[in-house]
Chain A
Amino acid sequence: MSTPFYVSPQQAMADRAEYARKGIARGRSVVVLTYADGIVFVAENTSRALHKVSEIYDRIAFAAVGRYNEFENLRIGGVRYADLRGYSYDRADVNARGLANVYAQTLGTIFSSTGEKPYEVELIVAEVGKNPGDDQIYRLTPDGSVVDEHGSVAVGGNAESIASYLDQRHEEGLSLPEALKLAVDSLARDPNGGAARAMTPDQLEVAVLDRGRWQQRKFKRLLGTQLARLLEGDASAAVDDEAAPAAGEEAAPDAE
């Protein structure tokens, strides 16, 4: 029987981190940024069926890059966690911090357990607050670290150059078309300084957590013509097309 090679713990962890990082860097990026009325998620994703951005709970959404089956599992786990918590306590008791914590523990345990391969995923968990100051964005890395992000964040391939581009240009109180334009510009940029690629709505997966929605669930996907109009800078397209339930007299149903 051969004696196993000795590998120092530092080396083992560094190898695992490198493995996960490489897996993530292969994929396209997702950016998340705050705007005046909420948080916008923009992913480069041509698939209509496999989402990188999804709803978790009333005010919480999830974005991920990396290996699809791994982050899909984490997404389902997150939805179950949030729904169970909201059912056992109250809807108000489900928050992004708790969810980020559970994800961090899960990723961290998997990362340092020798029996499992580290997850090749990077996650963003964001919660829209009642006011812009209460918005929260957490970034989770495969080793289970949680980074509390402010304003804007990018994950995936070229994340660093996209993030620094966003950092320089993102400011508080952007309108939705402005934030969207900034996000798309950051994704379309060539990291080597070449000409930016052209991005069409078909290549983008866009969703918002809009604190202005009257519904309890603030998550909404922006699709089709609404997205195209927003990308052209038409601010009026930001208005929710679903009418709020009118109160009082004008709400009479189909009065004769």
Chain B
Amino acid sequence: MEASFSGTGRLPAAFLTPGSSSFLDFLASHQPELLPGRRDLPAGVQPLEAPHGTTIVAATYDGGVVLAGDRRATMGNIIAQRDIEKVFPADEYSAVGIAGAAGLAVEMVRLFQLELEHYEKIEGTSLSLEGKANRLTTMIRGNLGMAMQGLAVVPMFAGYDLEQGKGRIFTYDVTGGRSEETGFATVGSGSLFAKGSLKKLYRSDLTAEGAATVVIQALYDAADDDSATGGPDLTRRIFPIVSVISEEGFRRLADSEVGELAEAVLGHRLEQPDGPQAPLL
């Protein structure tokens, strides 16, 4: 970065050019090498073994949305990290959870957070929830080259829409295709199992605490059948990250709160290992 200030030390013209409120656009024109997806990979090389993050789940409730993720990162058959964080606040009223190549994903989240903050500072107002979701699309699309080399990043975006007064969930595919989900959504290697679980447990009249319990149940079911998803770790006190976004903004539940909910879930699983049973009809 210092190289760009060579010469007089004054701000280069790109800094003082009015027009764009996007940090991403500024970076693309001024220092494109800093963008996560803009790295040239040698062609024809086998995909890298890099840590991958796994399961993210989200569920809306009456008055907001809950976004949660397990804590495991895997590299092939190895557990690369058992306490990785994959759910982050994007800004005051939204959060992003990531599955896929962990290193790239964390950098993408940093850039996404900055993109929203930058817009807010330049414009004096924040983007609409749709606007934020679309910015994320652009970023995933920028990573397509890496995705084709096996380093895909697939995020999930959830936020509280202040205009509509409800929580909303957006999922993406590797090409940046965006779709809004109703009720609940899952992404990552354990997503099939988590989705099956959510189908049976989710209902639309949940409270925030109920929604938090539902996502912990879903993550438990994912960990039960997917080796790349980590369950609650009672010995090390490592629990899923659960964030709640409502009219009051983003809040990450304290470890003690998630611990209590996870222990309650585990307590019931001691009697019924497959979890709560839905009625047949």
Among B129-137, B143-151, B251-259, the stretch in contact with A: B251-259
Residues of B that sit less than 8 Å from A by CB? 1, 5, 8-11, 15-16, 18, 23, 26-27, 30-31, 34, 63, 110-111, 114, 117-118, 121-122, 124, 207-210, 212, 244, 246, 248-249, 251-254, 256-257
Residues of A within 8 Å of B253, CB to CB, are 251, 253
| Contact in complex: A109, B118 (CB < 8 Å) | no
Q: Do B111 and A87 have beta carbons less than 8 Å apart?
A: yes
Residues in B neighbouring A134, C-beta threshold 8 A = none
In the assembled complex, which residues on chain B have CB atoms less than 8 Å from the CB atom of A105?
8-11
Given known A-B contacts A109-B10, A253-B251, A87 and B208 have beta carbons under 8 A apart: no
- Given A79-B118, A87-B111, A256-B210, CB of A251 within 8 Å of CB of B254: yes
Determine the chain B residues whose CB is within 8 A of the CB of A108 once the complex forms: 10
* A188 contacts partner chain B, Cβ-Cβ < 8 Å: no
Residues in A with CB closer than 8 Å to B210 are: 256
Residue of A nearest to B212 (CB): A253
Which residues of A, 185-231, contact B by the 8 Å Cβ criterion? Answer: 217
Give complex CA distance A53, B228 in Å.
50
A102 contacts the other chain (Cβ, under 8 Å)?
A: yes
Assess A248 versus B11: contact at CB under 8 Å? Given A51-B124, A80-B26: no
Interface size on A, residues (CB 8 A): 39
CB nearest neighbor in A for B9: A105
Asked whether B124 lies within 8 Å of A79 as measured between CB atoms, the reply is: no
**B252 to nearest A CB, angstroms?**
8
Could you tell me if A73 and B18 are in contact, using CB atoms closer than 8 angstroms? yes
Contact B16 A83 (CB under 8 A): no
Asked whether B244 lies within 8 Å of A253 as measured between CB atoms, the reply is yes
Q: A73-B16, A253-B244 are in contact. List 11 more A-B contacts (CB 8 A).
A: A51-B124, A56-B121, A74-B16, A80-B118, A86-B114, A87-B34, A102-B9, A248-B256, A251-B254, A253-B253, A256-B210
What per-residue 1/0 map shows which CB atoms of A74-102 lie under 8 Å from chain B?
Answer: 10110111011111100000000000011
Q: Which chain A residue has the least Cβ–Cβ distance from B115?
A: A83
Given contacts A253-B253, A255-B209, A85 and B26 within 8 Å (CB-CB): no
B62 CB to closest chain A CB (Å) equals: 9
Other-chain contact of A77, B11, B63, B111 (Cβ < 8 Å):
B11
Q: Does A133 interact with chain B (Cβ within 8 Å)?
A: no
Q: Does A252 contact B (CB under 8 A)?
A: yes
Determine if A83 and B251 form an interchain contact, defined as CB atoms under 8 angstroms apart. no
Docked Cα-Cα span, A252 to B31, in Å, equals 44
Contact of A79 among B9, B10, B121 (CB under 8 A): B121
Question: Are A84 and B31 CB-contacts (below 8 A) given A56-B121, A76-B18, A102-B9?
Answer: yes
19 contacts between A and B (CB under 8 A): A54-B124, A73-B16, A73-B18, A79-B118, A80-B118, A81-B15, A84-B23, A87-B23, A88-B34, A102-B10, A103-B11, A105-B9, A106-B11, A109-B8, A242-B249, A252-B209, A253-B208, A253-B253, A256-B209
